[in-house]
Amino acid sequence: MAWSFLSAEQLSAALRAGAVTSVELTEEAIARIEHEDKVINAICVPDFDRARAAALHADRALARGEDGPLLGIPVTVKESYDMAGLPTTWGMPEYRDHVPTEDAVQVSRLKAAGAVLLGKTNVPLVLRDIQSFNEIYGTTNNPWDHTRTSGGSSGGSAAALAAGFGALSIGSDLAGSLRTPAHFCGIYAHKPTLGLAPTRGMVAPPAPALPIDLDLAVVGPMARTARDLTLLLDVMAGPDPLTHGIAYDIALPPARHERLSDFRVLIIEEHPLIPTGSAVRAAVNRVAEALADEGAHVERRSALLPDPIEAATTYMQLMLSNAAANLPIDVYDRLRTHAATLCADDHSLDAARLRGMVLSHRDWVAANHRRELHRHGWRQLFAEFDAVVCPITPTPAFPHNHNGGLEDRHIDIDGVEYPYFDQLVWAGMATMPGLPATAIPAGRSAEGLPVGVQLIGPMFEDRTPLRLAELLERKIGGFRAPE
């Protein structure tokens, strides 16, 4: 039997029943990687010797009657996580020999849960792209169409899952870096509530692995089924034992509902700052129709939705303020000079990004206050709705585009070009206020490419969008292996 595309839940049941061993699963995954990854290039740092040893250890534990949520399951890890003895480069050539001596907290949790770690997956330079390529490890191709990107920055993990290289992976998300690759590759991913899963050890070299509470950025699970997302999130969630874990335990509330008919859902298919491509609009509407068909309460508009234009502007300012914090002073001064030339009435996203890169602390505090007002607005909305369905990006996976700087690129939406980074407004809808969002497959484009949507839920109620994802998977179908 071929095991490569079964869910982690199915593999775990087979392992406990003695139908397969972890060594067999691991050898099949390694053989598949060695054969298929030559053209996909998802696994940038293989760790097969230690994986084989871990699989043997898992089989012995199973034979003793031991158990664990991921015991014996082959998984992969995004390159940006520290794994003792393996390079962590974030795609930066000057750190190609940077080898941490300790595991990231999430890697430690995977190991404690019994997972077999196959290796690390590819990323863009400094994780700052919607594609995954760098000078050290090259370009990751989309398993559905090798001429197109797998997304970024967790593009290697999404491609690995779509290609059957392990049952699970862990990634991170600041600008859709979990959700966009899932959308492009036809898999599932979950951006947890901000702060739910600790990020220590998911750090750019040569910085030390400190228990820092990141702004906007999260770490989260990726899988081929919605139930597997919940399985992996339960391993990842919970405070860092060095800080909040000293005093706090985690107790996520259950999903608000168990049946599709009970859900109250707001559908958003258009953004005032960027159009939605036809393929993505069709996917959003397919989910809306499935919900309505099951008797869910579906609305297309609500006065409670926080202003999407202000949300996008605030998101860009907060994100770019963070990204520019470590720029050399001469670069920062040039940006500040450039920002000073902007017209006061220039409210474009380009202007918001430039202003964000030179944001003063005074202005950051003002932007953060706007964020808190938006969070309060979302609380009011989620008193009337249980989830919001909306796009992840305006298009399916686009052709590889490595030309020029990020600010010089464009995205083609049904034949019209728009600034490359403007497509991030959809990612920012959940990221800026710190809300949980689950990416699910929702159909195919005319070219046969996967198209996904995101299900945004209330803060710290991650189980609600995850449960909705599981119910929709049963209704409209889920992951399908590339042909």
- Contact predicate 154/366, CB 8 Å: no
Tokens 């989260």, residue located: 220
Q: Which class for 416: exposed (0-12), middle (13-18), buried (19 or more C-beta within 10 A)?
A: exposed
Residue 152: which of 176, 130, 125 has the closest Cα? 130
Catalytic residue among 12, 22, 177, 321: 177
Amino acid at 186: G
Catalytic residue among 7, 12, 132, 153: 153
- Contact predicate 375/433, CB 8 Å: yes
- Contact predicate 173/222, CB 8 Å: no
Q: How many Å from the N-terminal Cα to the C-terminal Cα in the chain?
A: 19
* DSSP code of residue 423: G
Residue 89: which of 55, 48, 44 has the closest Cα? 44
Helix (H) or strand (E) segment spanning residue 10? helix 8-17
Active site residue 177: yes
**DSSP annotation string for 146-164:** EEEE--SSSHHHHHHHHTT
Count Cβ atoms below 10 Å from residue 43 Cβ, excluding itself. 30
Residues in the chain: 483
**Residue 430, C-beta contacts closer than 8 angstroms, at least 6 positions apart:** 191, 436, 437, 454, 456
Helices (H) and strands (E) in the chain, counts: 14, 17
Active site residue 132: no
- Contact predicate 131/141, CB 8 Å: no
**DSSP annotation string for 67-108:** --TTTT-EEEEETTS--TTS---TT-GGGTT---SS--HHHH
Helix (H, G, I), strand (E, B) or coil at 420: helix
Active site residue 153: yes
Catalytic residue among 12, 22, 78, 169: 78
* DSSP code of residue 172: E
Helix (H) or strand (E) segment spanning residue 349? helix 349-357
Question: How far apart, in whole angstroms, are the C-alpha atoms of residue 424 and residue 128?
Answer: 12
Catalytic residues: 78, 153, 177
